[in-house]
């Protein structure tokens, strides 16, 4: 049996795949090591929903048989991964992070899981999440059947929602990469708070078949990884058209950063107020330094600002109306009262009362927002802003409080809700620390512009080592 040091759990996809091909260790040995670590350490961060060791060992044995025969299926072959517990795994519980669904079992795998297993990746577990992916609006990190997501950098801090387990598991080296989902910030937030690389793909790029629905018109499946390159390799496998998802764009992604235009020919849009007024004062030095690294890559620069729209209100109206419609049986049957967060219970009930005229008005404003982004991307190729404007909050703190600064300039502060409304791709990169807690910087582009974002992200990570840092508790 191979003996693995700590380094193995923080290796990239390419590093592990190369060692598997050289037969330095077997896929079964690697999967067993990650299963051990996930089962032992996952509960420490409230990150583990369900171990899938039995499935992992069977899949890893198949991978070893392929490797012995030199049947190489790509960079994900033999790589352990885990998924947010809103994705179905045939014959296994899929709880959606919520006690009313604790015994829920489906008889099919989500399309994303089918694709990854087809590429030879090894599923080791399901990861904890905020109940119902935050549907209805939660106010405390404890809104989860498994308890609040704890940050591997400081367990008194939140790991971020709603993909809380996915962010913590990658940060702590419990899995090589994790699948999460985002409707409005649920990949960007845990990526920033946990110091990992997160990719929110263009709406429709990745099938949602087999994933819990929260908002049909905004839900997206994405990845949390060790690096930008890992995000690209993963997206290449999970993207593609799927007739089982009505929102599928019918497009396949191929990771090819080498064909991206020269950086000198690209224009980066930014807002100075994001790094000064909007960011927490203690976070500004690290965020300024990250911005300096990006500027030194040789882009053309242009100061920009989001147009004046009520992004938060529009996002909230759409998600609440669609989410409450999805969970109407839960609400009507009274089972909604078994959720952990009282504000979320009230929000789901209230969502059923949103008038059709308000929902339609929000959708019309959304269309105007999409039109404004099209105009913005005529002169700008990539937008850059902090992923979050400060580090992770305390676990016991109420979310959405009055602690944020109130900038004079709008800047790009609302880019998470705005970008999700427009279905834009985003990449969050670790970029430094504030009091020992990670910070992230985000790149946002026009639809299907992932290769450019990943090329910039890869260059940033070649110039820095923030993505290589490890939480002290895991070393």
CATH of the domain at 143: 3.90.1300.10
Same domain, 225 and 349: no
Same domain, 43 and 60: yes
Which of the following is catalytic: 162, 181, 239, 442?
162
Same domain, 21 and 137: yes
Is 428 one of the annotated active-site residues of the chain? no
Which of the following is catalytic: 11, 186, 215, 239?
186
**What span, in angstroms and rounded, lies between the C-alpha atoms of 462 and 397?**
36
Distance (Å) of CA 188 to CA 236, 301, 433: 19, 24, 16
Is 473 within the bounds of a domain?
Answer: no
Same domain, 299 and 354: no
With a cut of 50, say whether residue 403 has pLDDT above it: no
| pLDDT (average), residues 20-31 | 97
Is 474 within the bounds of a domain?
Answer: no
Is 172 within the bounds of a domain?
Answer: yes
**What span, in angstroms and rounded, lies between the C-alpha atoms of 123 and 58?**
10
Average pLDDT of the chain to the nearest whole number: 96
Same domain, 370 and 433: yes
Q: What's the pLDDT score for residue 3?
A: 83
Neighbours of 264 (CB within 10 A): 9
Instruction: Please identify, among 301, 336, 358, the residue that sits at the C-terminal boundary of a domain.
Output: 358
* 3-state SS class at 59: helix
Is 84 one of the annotated active-site residues of the chain? yes
Same domain, 285 and 151: no
Q: What's the pLDDT score for residue 406?
A: 65
Nearest to residue 231, comparing CAs of 189, 201, 258, 267? 201
For residue 18, give every residue at least 6 positions away whose Cβ sits within 8 Å of its Cβ, in sequence order, or none.
Answer: none
Which of the following is catalytic: 11, 26, 84, 278?
84
pLDDT tens, position by position, 341-378 = 999 999 999 999 999 999 999 999 999 999 999 999 99
Same domain, 113 and 10: yes
Q: How confident is the model at residue 400 (pLDDT cuts 50, 70, 90)?
A: confident
Q: How confident is the model at residue 408 (pLDDT cuts 50, 70, 90)?
A: confident
With a cut of 60, say whether residue 141 has pLDDT above it: yes
Same domain, 109 and 231: yes
Neighbours of 321 (CB within 10 A): 22
Domain hosting 352: range is: 312-358
Is 475 within the bounds of a domain?
Answer: no
With a cut of 80, say whether residue 436 has pLDDT above it: yes
- Structure tokens, 35: 């299963």
Q: What percent of the chain has pLDDT over 70?
A: 98
pLDDT tens, position by position, 156-178 = 999 999 999 999 999 999 999 99
Instruction: Please identify, among 257, 274, 292, the residue that sits at the C-terminal boundary of a domain.
Output: 257
Is the bond preceding 133 in cis, omega lying within 30 degrees of 0? Answer: no
Is 144 one of the annotated active-site residues of the chain? no
Same domain, 381 and 343: no
């Amino acid at each position: 049996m191979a003996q693995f040091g700590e380094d193995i759990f923080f290796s990239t996809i390419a590093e592990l795949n190369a060692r598997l091909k050289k037969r330095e260790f077997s896929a079964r040995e690697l999967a067993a090591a990650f299963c051990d670590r996930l089962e032992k350490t996952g509960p420490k961060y409230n990150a583990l929903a369900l171990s899938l060791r039995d499935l992992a060992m069977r899949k890893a044995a198949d991978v070893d048989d392929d490797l012995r025969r030199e049947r190489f299926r790509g960079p994900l072959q033999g790589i352990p991964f885990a998924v947010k517990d809103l994705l179905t795994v045939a014959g296994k519980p899929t709880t959606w992070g919520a006690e009313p669904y604790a015994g829920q079992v489906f008889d099919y795998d989500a399309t994303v899981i089918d694709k990854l297993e087809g590429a030879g990746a090894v599923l080791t577990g399901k990861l904890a999440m905020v109940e119902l992916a935050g549907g209805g609006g939660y106010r405390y990190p404890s809104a989860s059947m498994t308890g609040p997501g704890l940050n591997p950098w400081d367990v008194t801090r939140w790991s971020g929602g709603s993909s809380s387990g996915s962010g913590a598991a990658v940060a702590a080296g419990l899995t090589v990469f994790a699948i999460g989902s985002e409707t409005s910030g649920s990949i960007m937030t845990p990526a920033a708070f946990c110091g990992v690389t997160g990719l929110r793909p263009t709406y429709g790029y990745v099938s949602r078949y087999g994933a819990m629905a929260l908002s049909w018109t905004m839900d997206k499946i994405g990845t949390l990884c060790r690096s930008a390159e890992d995000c690209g390799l993963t997206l290449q496998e999970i993207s593609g058209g799927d007739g089982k998802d009505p929102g599928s764009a019918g497009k396949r992604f191929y990771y090819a950063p080498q064909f991206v235009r020269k950086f000198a020919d690209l224009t980066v849009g930014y807002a100075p107020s994001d790094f000064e007024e909007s960011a927490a004062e203690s976070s500004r030095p690290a965020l300024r330094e990250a911005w300096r690294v990006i500027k030194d890559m040789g882009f053309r620069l242009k100061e920009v600002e989001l147009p004046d729209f009520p992004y938060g209100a529009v996002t909230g109206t759409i998600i609440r109306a669609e989410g409450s419609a999805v969970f109407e049986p839960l609400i009507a049957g009274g089972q909604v009262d078994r959720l952990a967060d009282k504000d979320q219970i009230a929000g789901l009930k209230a969502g059923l009362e949103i008038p059709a005229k308000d929902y339609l008005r929000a959708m019309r404003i959304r269309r105007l927002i999409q039109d404004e982004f099209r105009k913005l991307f005529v002169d700008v190729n990539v937008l850059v802003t902090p992923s979050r404007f400060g580090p992770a909050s305390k676990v016991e703190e109420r979310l959405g409080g009055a602690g944020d600064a109130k900038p004079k300039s709008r800047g790009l502060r609302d880019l998470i809700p705005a970008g999700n409304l427009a279905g834009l791709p985003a990449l969050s990169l670790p970029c430094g620390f504030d009091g020992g807690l990670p910070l992230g910087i985000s790149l946002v582009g026009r639809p299907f512009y992932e290769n450019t974002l990943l090329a910039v992200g890869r260059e940033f990570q070649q110039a820095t080592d923030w993505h290589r840092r490890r939480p002290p508790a895991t070393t």
